[in-house]
Structures are given as C-alpha cells and as structure tokens.
A and B are shown apart, each in its own frame.
Chain A
C-alpha cells in the first residue's frame, strides 16, 4: 500500500500527499444498493482525497443506525469508533480533547441525532469544537425497518400508510441557534454541492453541521414520502451556488489545525458568520 513517504511508482493520479483515491476507500458497503448514504461516503472519499487529508489523522465517529455503519465504508486506514445510539458527540468530544491533532469526522443519522441523541447534539453545537458532523437524514429508522424519525415532515407517509402528525426537528436551525459555525443542508444526490460543502467543512475550524437528505430506498422512497429521491429532486432549492475556494487563509488554517488546540474548556465562536458564504440552508419543504 502506498504511504505518504513512499510515492507510488505508477503514474496513477495522486494528491498532494502522493496518495491515490484508492487510499481513501473503505470496506465494501453493506447498505442497500441505491442508499443515499453510499453516495455521501463517495463524496467524503473524494473530498478527503482532494483536500489531501492524512487518513491516519482522521477519527471517524458514529452512533448507531444505517448511517453510523457507513464510516466503515470510507477511509479504511483511518481510525474509527462505531459507538452507541445517539452518543457520537460525546465520543468525538473525548477523542478531540485527548488528541488535538485529530480531524474528527462524525457521521450520524436523523434518529441518532434528532431523537435519542438530541441532548448530546445540542451541547456539541454549543461547544463549537472542531468537528464535522454529518447527518445522513432519511426521515426513518432503517435498521429497525422503517419507523418515523424526528426529522420526518408532517403529513409524510410510511409505506404502511401511517401518516406522521408531528412537526420535524430542524437540525440546521438548532445548530445555528446554538452556535455551530458552519451549517449546511444538502442532498446526497447533489454531487457538486455536497462536495463543495464537505471540502469547506474540512477547511473550517469549528463545528460544521451538515444535514444531508439521504433517501432510504427501502423504507422511505415511495409516493407520499417527503424524503424520497423524486420528492427531494422536485423540491430542492439551492439557495446559493456553492463552491469551495481554497484561499490562502484557509490553507494556512489547515496547517495551524495541526497545532495543539489551546483552550479546551472554552468555546471560540470566531468564524461564525465570517464563513457565511459557505452557509446554505435549503428550505425544509
């Protein structure tokens, strides 16, 4: 396997570290064919490759659920924890406190975040620690076969015909209100926007919260669902044409990120809306 110190002899395309895209891949996904989460894993692989992220510095952290299985499917050589349901934020916080050089990449789901994990989620947002928090949001519990989650829209219908009568929790609005400094909502099917947001997140120093609508092909991709591929495609309204521009300022940040983080017990909401051009909040419905 190629490493940073031994560049590959073949003329394969490599990034600034001399690593190939293959170095960023993970194990074969065991999620359903067509699952939005697989597309998100692909974007993570691309973004890390293109940004020249050192895999060994990445801590992949997740809770429980289909989404939380996905860290096994990207960055095979990185370290990871598939922890407890709704508890990824605390595992991530501890890991970051222990080693300030780690790049924390958290993957959660809508049930994992907005229901069982809402407490840890809101407190993580308050602390604005350097972490990327991706919600792979499909509005249902997949592993337990299709119950509504707390991000399901009012009026959305399950396959069984059950209609959701509770309002959804808007994780983006919560994150902004609580102090996360980089917040976005995207769609697993929007390759360009999601890639740009992920790269921006990798370059951001502070909590990045990306709510990525990621349709569940098995339990929530039918007529009457508001998280199906066709519904999201029909209702997606990009608020801005987002692209990632690696400015010198941001490049500088990437190197400073390797420095020990200085003030563990305080929150530093420095770049809150300075990065607002990266901030996109598509309408929920």
Chain B
C-alpha cells in the first residue's frame, strides 16, 4: 500500500528526509469558466511526460461560469490511477470553496493558494505556500484581458518548483496544447516561469512530496473514453450518426464529427461518405438510428441517462423488430436531471431490460479507454450479428477524463455483417421468412431495403408478427417469436467479451466489479492483502448477458462482493435475476454513489467491515 498516510503521522523529520516520491494527489480548486483547463492539462501532461503514471479527473459543475470546479491529478509509481479520497497538495484558487477545501486536507498536506485568500489562519497542521498571483502575472501578460486565462499557469510553475516537475516538460506540454500558436506557448510559459521563479525565491520546501522522473509511461498515450469510443466507431465503419447534445456524452459525437471529416470524406469527390445529424431530441436520434440500421447502415447514437429514458420505446422496437443499433450510454448521476456532471453506473439495470414488455439487451461494459475503442468496434459487429440494439456502457469518469493507455491496435477481424440475404440468395431460396429460426441459434435472416427482388421485400413492425413478418395476434406465433428471442439472447451470451478473472487459490473472498470501478478494485485488492491479509479473487464483468464463467466464479467463493457505483446495487440485482438461490446467498454489496469516481479506500473499508461481521 502507499504508505504516505502512516509516514506523515509518524515523522517530524525535515522534508528532504521524509521524502514521498511519485505518490501524491494534487487537487486544483478553481472557479469554472476561469480558464484553468490549460494549466491543469499541461500539469498532467508534464508529469506524464516525466514517465510517471498519472491520471487526471475533472470534477466540474453543471454550469458555464462561476461555480466551483476541481481538477485532481494522481501520480502513482505503483500505477494506481483510481481517484483518491484525499490529496496531499491543494491549489486553492477559488474564494468560494477555499476554506472548505483546506479543512478537507489531511494533516501534513500542502496548500498553494492565492495570497489574498489568507488561508494560513485556518490550520497549523498544513504547509501553506501563499502566492501573489495577480502581481506575478501582470508583468508577463501586459494584455489585461488575457490575464485571467494565463494567471492559472502561475501555479503550474509554483508546483513545478515545489514538486520537482521539469520546466522543460511544461514547455513541451504547452507546445502540444497550443500546437503552432507560438505566442500562446510563450505567454503561458512565461507565466509558469514567473511562478517557478517566485517559488524559488520565496519558499523553503516544507512538505515531503516529490515527483521524480521514471520510465513507466513510455509509448503510452493519453486519451479520454469518449474520443476512444468515437475512434472505435469510425474504425467499425459507422456511416449514420444521430445525436442530441447531453452531458457527458456530447463529446463522443463531436469528436467523431472531427474524425469523420478528416478521415471519411471521399478524396476524389470531396463528398462525405457518412451522415451525421444533430436530431431534435433523443426520440428522433434513436429513431433515425433504427431507420438506418433497418436500411443496412452501421448506425449509432450517444447519450446519457435522461436520453436513454427517452429512447426506451424505440429500444424495445429494435429488440422486437430486430434492428441493429449501437447506443453509447455515458452514464451520469440520476434520477431525473440528477447531477449531470458527476459520474455513476446508474443505468445498468434499466438498460438491461429497457422498454415495456419482456425485453433484454446486450450491454458491453468497458473499464478503460482501450476497451472503449475495442468494444465500440465489437458493438457494431454484435448489433448486426444479433440484429438488435447494443449498449456500450461507459460513464462520465471514463468518458470525459483523460486516461493513460497503450496505443490502440488496428482491428484485425473483418466486420461481421450478420445474416443478410442478397437478391440471388432469395431467388435461389424461392423466398425467405424474416423471423424464422433456420439455424437454431435464434437469429433470422434479413434482407435490406432496395434489394432488387420482389420476394426479398418484407414489412417490419413493432406489432405482433409471425415468422414471415406478417401481422399476427395468434398466441402460438407470439410465444414462438418470444422464445426465439430468448434463444438469440442465449447465443449472444456465449459470444460476448468474457469476464476477466484473476484468482489466487484462496476460496473465501471474491470481488465482482465492472467499468471504471476496476481501477479502484485493483488498488483495493492490494490494500486488502497488505493491510488485512485478505486475499481476494476478482472477476471483472465486461458484458451482459453474463457469461457462465461469472456463475462459476461465484460458486468457487464463500463470499462475493459486488461493487456498484449506484445506490441500489444494480449489477447485484441483475445477477440475482440469473442466479440460483444458493449462489445469490453469497452475494454482498459494496456501493458508492456520491457522484465522485469510486476510490480504493471506500471498497477496502467496506469489505473489511463486512468481513469482520462474519
């Protein structure tokens, strides 16, 4: 375990002798709309460039300007990139939140702050570094209008000095940020340099935290999950994209638009080979996806909880009429409008059975930006193979934050377009029955509109239909169709991404988690082992319906903790629907639902506390 907490309490040695290297969390508290994004991303990038595993998380309000926002950077030589509950370094720029932020610091932490806020009076167990931001920025930024934006770069310089971030890396990061705009690079760098120089002149290092170059990020890329999803969709050959703006999903389609304009315009004709529509609402967005999927295109939309609710009826239509569609759900905190800019895994249960009547949907659950990319591609294959809507269940934490990753590999498999009959096929067969289970896998054959063969045409409907797609209210037709849909779902179960299971021979404690909880679970596994001698095994779910391996995993352990980032233990609920009573009895719940990404300490403490009750 990272031992900073313990060491700090024990030691009163000078900073240099209590060195805590490459293991800290920095929290930058600003006002939203103050242009801190550049300073924060440059800081993160500079640390990353020094070869130190680092992750940044933006905790922002649902507002454009004036409310508090926090950016946390966690640097960890162990490679832990989950959120940490507390931070060692606070940069307090926001008068509104400063006092609360300082009181939240643990003893021994450090605080860089705007001098005017006069925070030193608040505590005597925290190291304070007051900085006169306005005085420092004025000489390096003569244009008063730009000062507000450049001012934040000063704390980059101060932190660089205090923590040991190389100024050269700050400059490189700035160049990446502003690309060819040399003036902007200089302006911002000079502000950082002013901060660095001021810290050199003024401060004696009193905290024990240091960043030192290591070699753990070579060859890695940093990308947010939404961009990774967009890349995946483009590689998957999406041609129709329809969407309605909603946080935190908007950047999936916005980024995709940029990629498609760059890479999917026919070079010879200059014409787009795709169509992207900003629809009037989510009802229309999903309707267009259904129309396009029906007509044979690879089509997608991206949304979040409220949009999903609006898409419910069409999703059921897609399930029953059997139309391929890919829906990216970048989950946020509900119910209702909820906390639009905070993260949760709140749509798991809803999406699994979205829409009225008996419906079941395939969900892919990425935990990383790599999986955002690969699962996006896979989602389009699965949608067409199984002729049904497929959800990619990301969340705000994964979608909107920048994550370190290995470079993505070019997809190797050819596209799976599913069972589609050509005019020749239909002619040879002398016709076809759209919803007949010819192969015993529950998947019928379809034709695409425009296929030039009179016997190929059929009528698609969300009302009752028989094998030949003819309207029917006959009990047998209905039951046969619904049972075939179950067969299809069972076929899918075996074809979805398998859970990732790591076991250690002990048979007491298992943990089941999914999505972004993964990173906190990895760290919690280490904490449990080091602190409590609890050696837990771990099964990471990657898809719904669950593979049989999940049931088998549960059977191998006495107690299985299911980690959910929602109040109602939604994944545990889904598991209960599929498991037998004996298995269900083993399940326990670890839940986290305060809108912030889950952290390892919360998981560890909860498991330890429940284990103690055994």
Contact = CB atoms under 8 A, between A and B. Distances in A.
A246 interface: no
A56 B462 contact: no
B240 A97 contact: yes
Interface in A65-114: 71-72, 76-84, 87, 89-99, 101-102
Contacts of A59: 295, 449
A89 B284 contact: yes
B456 A56 contact: yes
A84 B291 CA distance: 12
Interface residues of B, number: 51
B143 to A, nearest CB: 38
Interface stretch (B188-196, B229-237, B268-276): B268-276
B445 interface: no
A85 to B, nearest CB: 8
A93 to B, nearest CB: 5
Nearest to A92: B291
B457 A98 contact: no
A1 interface: yes
Interface in B465-486: 470-471
B288 interface: yes
A94 B290 contact: yes
B287 A87 contact: yes
A91 B459 contact: no
Nearest to A62: B461
B292 A119 contact: no
Contact of A95 (B272, B295, B314, B453): B295
A155 interface: no
Nearest to A26: B459
B291 A77 contact: no
Nearest to B460: A81
Contacts of A94: 240, 242, 287-295, 297, 299
30 contacts: A4-B452, A56-B452, A56-B453, A57-B450, A79-B449, A79-B450, A79-B457, A80-B459, A83-B287, A84-B313, A87-B287, A90-B283, A90-B286, A91-B294, A94-B287, A94-B290, A94-B291, A94-B292, A94-B295, A95-B292, A95-B294, A95-B449, A97-B240, A97-B292, A98-B294, A99-B295, A99-B449, A119-B281, A263-B271, A265-B276
B317 interface: yes
B239 interface: yes
Given A61-B291, A265-B276, 16 more contacts: A27-B470, A55-B457, A56-B449, A77-B455, A79-B447, A79-B449, A79-B450, A83-B287, A87-B283, A90-B288, A94-B289, A97-B291, A101-B450, A119-B283, A263-B271, A264-B275
B277 A99 contact: no
A23 B450 CA distance: 16
A123 interface: yes
A27 B277 CA distance: 35
B314 A84 contact: yes
Contact of A81 (B240, B294, B451): B294
B452 A54 contact: yes
B215 interface: no
B280 interface: yes
Contact of A97 (B285, B288, B458, B463): B288
Nearest to B281: A119
Interface in A205-240: none
Nearest to B427: A3
Nearest to A71: B459
Contacts of A54: 452
Interface in B195-247: 239-240, 242
A262 interface: yes
A243 interface: no
